[in-house]
Amino acid sequence: MSNDDVIACHSLVKEFTEGPSAVSVLKGIDLAIQQGKRVALVGASGSETHT
């Protein structure tokens, strides 16, 4: 990660629990977005990728 980052995330984790089961969808993700860069979140229809 650098000083030019306007958004930085470290070691992101996300887990969904459905009944007795847990599904990990993010496991220790690092993300850095620098000023002036464009980013798109994409996913299947209904995957809640909108803001």
What is the pTM (predicted TM-score) of this model?
Answer: 0.57
- Tell me what pLDDT residue 51 has: 53
How far is Cα 31 from Cα 7, in angstroms, rounded to an integer? 8
- Residue range 19-42: average pLDDT? 90
Mean pLDDT (the chain) is 85
Within 1-51, strands assigned E span 5-18, 21-34
